[in-house]
Structure 1
Amino acid sequence: MSNSINPSKSPEMGTAKVEVNKLGLDNPAFWISGGFLALFATTAMINSEFLSSIVNSGFGWAVQVFGAYWQALLLLTFFIGLVLAFSGLGSVRLGAIAKPEMDGFKWMAIILCTLLAGGGVFWAAGEPIAHYVSPPPLYGVEENTTVRAFNALAQSFMHWGFLAWAILGTLTSIVLMRLHYDKGLPLQPRTLLYPIFGKRVLTPVFGGIIDGCCIIAVAAGTIGPIGFLGLQISYALNDLFSIPDTFTTQFIIILMAIAIYTVSALSGLNRGIQILSRFNVILALGLMVYILIFGSTNFVINAYLHGVGTMLDNFIPMATFRSDENWLGWWTVFFWGWFLGYGPMMAIFIAKISRGRTIRELIMAISVIAPLLTCFWFTIVGGTGLSFEIADPGSVSKAFEGFNLPAALLSITKQLPMPTLISVLFLILTTIFIVTTGDSMTYTISVVISGETEPNAIVRAFWGIMMGICALVLISLGSGGVSALQSFIVITAVPVSLILLPSLWNGPKMAIEMAKEQGLQ
């Protein structure tokens, strides 16, 4: 009788195999996404001009070929979701449990902080003044400065409002929650295509390609804001405190951000992510109240009501505007391509935190309440900037020249009482917004890669650190490196948007199935 040990039966080999599975090293999605990001960063270091030319060509092609499709996809997702919410299907409870796992405030805080991200501060300051200085083609030049300001806010609301939020986790979350919690399928992007391809999407190669595309899109979408965080905070520190605006400063800022969001992701949904989100919502509310009291209160209230009214009045024309493709590529299609890239992974995250919610609660929170709060926040920040600009022409627009987002923000905060303190609080707010996106996406990528609802700590740390390192590599090349990645995000929206498409009919279909099972029909 042989004393040799069969390797396949070895306890050590068995343990090693379990560890490989936990780390996700046997998942092709790990090698596809990780390898691509490494290749992108390496190419940027070797020949950034070559990379930029390829990305810009791909960006132009994506905008021209898929722009109209993306606009229709977002529009349909929003309206179909509303029909479900206001029909009898709205009472369907998701996640196979009788009541929510998380209370309403914590749930809403995590949703707002994760999905609003860095756009909640710098874009809120910069986009309204951009549309004020250079009016959108749908509105044209308006001589009345107040009306021009309201139109600028309405256009910003369209980009960051109902349609943008709806694509991030309404119909797709319904599909994922049905197939994961009720049917036992993995909480991975591939599951969105299960109703079409069946078990083939569960195979390593086919499923790995689907998951890999979605991971690349969301990683690129997260690395970009992390990189810009370093650039923007460094600029602001130089402006406020004369700290040198150098790569060293940017390096330290990003290193701190990596440490915070990695530790937060390691602590899980019920600790780090939740604590940071709650703190940020409280800080944002405090700043809102402060600006309302000491800023242009009457203008802000009027601007919000008039801006929302203008957006609703021109909702379909703005959502379907196709007369100026060059402008669309810079604005509407760019933003929506960016949000589309986040779609599947955000749906996974929302499915994870929304267990026990009804379809009505889910859709109303994401498609209606969150967008209206976002629009109000844009009015608080950007609307206050517009009121300062109207009162003193050039006070904000001159700082914004060259599309300088952090300068636009600082030009607003410096005109408020206690300018230095308020500026610092806004920088803290921005940092935590981006950190909460970093930790939630680190957590979600780890879920997809490992196949575990509570991923291994090493997996979470790896993805958190890897995204930070990619951001550092790109900003070491200057803002052009991060800009190339931002444009690349829109290219990744091409395959991702095709993965999201079937949810238009699968979401309602599964809602009907659950309604019957729950005795609601």
Structure 2
Amino acid sequence: MDHVKVGRLGPFPRVSKPVFLTSAILILAFIIFGALFNEQAEVVFNQAKAFVSLRFGWFFIVVVNLTLVMSIYMIFSRYGDIRLGHQNERPEYNLVSWIGMLFSAGIGIGLLYWGTAEPLYHFMAPPLGEAETVAAAKQAMNISFLHYGLHVWALYGMVALSLAYFHYRVGLPLAIRSTLYPILGKKIYGGWGHTVDTLAVFGTMFGVVTTLGLGVLQINSGLETLFGVPNNITVQIILIGFITMLAGLSLFMGLDKGIKRLSDTNIFFTVILLSFVIIFGPTQFIFNSFVENIGNYLHEIVPLGLWTESYSGEENWQSSWTIFYWAWWISWSPFVGVFVARISRGRTIREFILGVLLIPITILFLWFTAFGGSAVNMELMAAADPNLVSPGLIEAVKADTGSAIFKLMESYPLTEAVNLLIVVMIVLWFVTSSDSASFVIDMLTSGGDTNPPKIQRLFWAGAEGVIAAVLLAAGGLSALQAASIVSGFPFAIVIVVMMYSLLRGLSRDRLILYRNQQWFTTEESAEHNSANEFRDEDLLTGPPKIVDSND
């Protein structure tokens, strides 16, 4: 077996039947169980979350730290000059569009949901020390930076780099199975490959669904604030249906016309909102604390990154926060990895890793400082000065986490207009996340086809909406967290194997370059050693094909 077989399955014209059927059956069983046995589902979700997070939380921590170490090694290693494609190839997308799509795929709704609420939550209930103090404020920013910082983007970067390398450099399909070729060989086209891709589909589905669920909760909070719309499960399910239809429309427009344009629009609105908060907020404090927050984060990154609560006597805080985040990002990593690999052709490994690691976190850290840091500072100032009235941000977080950003905007001019912009941004993030994830899942279930049929994309977009509705009905935020943690665990194992496989592939790549005594610096050598001809008996046996079994 030396190829990936795809064929017609009912209304779906091009699918890898083992991956598609297994994924669809598992997801359908999950939907039926959650919809028909609502109370039992909530109990099962919580028990599964507790078991995985308490028993294997250390493993999640080890995996994300390994990806960061590996990323730093790649930057300074001899592999940094290897290009993802022909050695003289230029990037497919310009830097601005690349950053926009990278940022949209990698963070999305979570930024708006947690950007204000998370620092406030850690400030009022820190895992260590006394609450609502200066020390608690610094700790809150350190933890927020940890959860959205270097570890996250190193994780995304390693998965994306593995996919991009084996696809563009070696000529394998753009699928998770391809990253394990140096270890499994042709077995990736059989049961092992089907299993790995199915795990990626399952993880992607529930990682994205968690984000969609958070987005709907916050949209509902915004609509309640602006227009008095009831905040309940009925409204949330209606919102899921409406926005899933928007995602379907975007999917039919394709990567360049749909997803790329939405990503560019998201970045534009993000810059507008961030600039507004900096200009009309405590500007001097934001820039001062931004510099200090980065220093504190870098100083604490090793102890915080390896902290396991082993001496605290209980592990409830970390399982609800750090372990949840690591599992969430791991479950997102197949989706983000495939998507980022898809848009990164032509970049060198060093350029790729530096861009993925540094560009998004600079924007994220400034965002968390401007929104969350400013909110925490308001509460600190009100507590220190009896003449100041508390802005009520802590109470807002306690009542409804998603409402924190809308409450913060009450301290700014043009409150209603800005809150409406925030709701629009959440909808756009929602649509971008949904259509990007549907595109990626369809690629995985069609054997790595980079342009899968649109009808299949629509099917997966609808499935995401249905699962988000089921999880919200079966326990809200707690059920969403449970789904992320449980689905992320098996793929964490795959990531460890993937990094080892990447090192094997890169070492053989360098060996071939050394043998040929050239770096593909001319047009002729680039054509002669194109990605589809880049082979060696010590590396791979040659690029496989996606074969349509209908032919």
TM-score by length of 2: 0.85
Give the match for residue 419 of structure 1. 415
Structure with the higher fraction of residues in helix conformation: 1
Give the match for residue 231 of structure 1. 217
**Counterpart residue type for residue 171 of structure 1:** M
Contact 1:55 1:487 in 2 (8 A): yes
Deviation (angstroms), 1:19: 6.7
Judged with a 3 Å threshold, the aligned counterparts in structure 2 of structure 1 residues 17 and 342 are, in CA distance, closer, same or farther, namely closer
**Counterpart residue type for residue 209 of structure 2:** I
Deviation (angstroms), 1:112: 0.5
Say whether 1:454 aligns with 2:451. Answer: yes
Give the match for residue 324 of structure 2. 334
Aligned residues: 498
**Structure 2 residue corresponding to 1:152, chosen from 140, 144, 166:** 140
Deviation (angstroms), 1:344: 2.4
Judged with a 3 Å threshold, the aligned counterparts in structure 2 of structure 1 residues 54 and 398 are, in CA distance, closer, same or farther, namely same
Contact 1:192 1:500 in 2 (8 A): no
Contact 2:67 2:155 in 1 (8 A): yes
How far, CA to CA, are the matches of 2:214 and 2:250 in structure 1?
20
Give the match for residue 425 of structure 2. 429
Judged with a 3 Å threshold, the aligned counterparts in structure 2 of structure 1 residues 21 and 514 are, in CA distance, closer, same or farther, namely farther
Contact 1:94 1:178 in 2 (8 A): yes
Deviation (angstroms), 1:499: 0.7
Deviation (angstroms), 1:248: 4.6
**Structure 2 residue corresponding to 1:110, chosen from 86, 101, 105:** 101
Give the match for residue 526 of structure 2. none
Say whether 1:441 aligns with 2:432. Answer: no
Identity of aligned residues (%): 28
Give the match for residue 45 of structure 1. 35
**Counterpart residue type for residue 495 of structure 1:** P
**Counterpart residue type for residue 459 of structure 1:** Q
**Counterpart residue type for residue 104 of structure 1:** L
Deviation (angstroms), 1:472: 2.8
**Structure 2 residue corresponding to 1:294, chosen from 280, 301, 312:** 280
**Counterpart residue type for residue 501 of structure 2:** N
Give the match for residue 189 of structure 1. 176
The secondary structure found in structure 2 opposite 1:501 is: helix
Deviation (angstroms), 1:163: 0.1
How far, CA to CA, are the matches of 1:337 and 1:343 in structure 2?
10
Deviation (angstroms), 1:65: 2.6
Contact 1:474 1:481 in 2 (8 A): yes
How far, CA to CA, are the matches of 1:238 and 1:101 in structure 2?
43
**Counterpart residue type for residue 509 of structure 1:** R
Deviation (angstroms), 1:21: 10
The secondary structure found in structure 2 opposite 1:455 is: coil
How far, CA to CA, are the matches of 2:213 and 2:362 in structure 1?
28
Say whether 1:66 aligns with 2:52. Answer: no
Equivalent runs, 1:42-441 vs 2, <5 Å: 42-96=32-86, 98-137=89-128, 140-141=129-130, 145-168=133-156, 170-203=157-190, 205-323=191-309, 324=312, 325-393=315-383, 394=390, 395-402=392-399, 404-441=400-437
Deviation (angstroms), 1:251: 3.4
Moved more, 106-115 or 389-398: 389-398
Give the match for residue 7 of structure 1. none
Moved more, 286-295 or 316-325: 316-325
Deviation (angstroms), 1:382: 0.9
Judged with a 3 Å threshold, the aligned counterparts in structure 2 of structure 1 residues 17 and 442 are, in CA distance, closer, same or farther, namely closer
Q: Unmatched 5+ residue regions in structure 1?
A: 1-15
Contact 1:189 1:345 in 2 (8 A): no
Judged with a 3 Å threshold, the aligned counterparts in structure 2 of structure 1 residues 244 and 54 are, in CA distance, closer, same or farther, namely closer
Judged with a 3 Å threshold, the aligned counterparts in structure 2 of structure 1 residues 485 and 28 are, in CA distance, closer, same or farther, namely farther
How far, CA to CA, are the matches of 1:208 and 1:159 in structure 2?
31
How far, CA to CA, are the matches of 2:145 and 2:419 in structure 1?
24
Give the match for residue 536 of structure 2. none
**Counterpart residue type for residue 433 of structure 1:** W
Superposition CA RMSD, Å: 2.2
Deviation (angstroms), 1:80: 1.7
Contact 1:219 1:467 in 2 (8 A): yes
Deviation (angstroms), 1:372: 2.4
- Once the two structures are superposed, residues 241-266 of structure 1 have per-residue CA deviations (whole angstroms, 9 ceiling, x without a partner) of 11233445323422231122222222
How far, CA to CA, are the matches of 1:361 and 1:20 in structure 2?
43
How far, CA to CA, are the matches of 1:482 and 1:463 in structure 2?
22
Deviation (angstroms), 1:25: 4.9
How far, CA to CA, are the matches of 2:131 and 2:394 in structure 1?
17
**Counterpart residue type for residue 432 of structure 1:** L
How far, CA to CA, are the matches of 2:325 and 2:54 in structure 1?
14
Deviation (angstroms), 1:286: 0.8
- Once the two structures are superposed, residues 306-342 of structure 1 have per-residue CA deviations (whole angstroms, 9 ceiling, x without a partner) of 1111111111100010224222101111100111112
**Counterpart residue type for residue 352 of structure 2:** L
Judged with a 3 Å threshold, the aligned counterparts in structure 2 of structure 1 residues 372 and 218 are, in CA distance, closer, same or farther, namely same
Q: Unmatched 5+ residue regions in structure 2?
A: 1-5, 384-389, 521-551
Contact 1:90 1:360 in 2 (8 A): yes
How far, CA to CA, are the matches of 2:59 and 2:235 in structure 1?
42
TM-score by length of 1: 0.90
Contact 2:176 2:197 in 1 (8 A): yes
Deviation (angstroms), 1:520: 5.3
Give the match for residue 489 of structure 2. 494
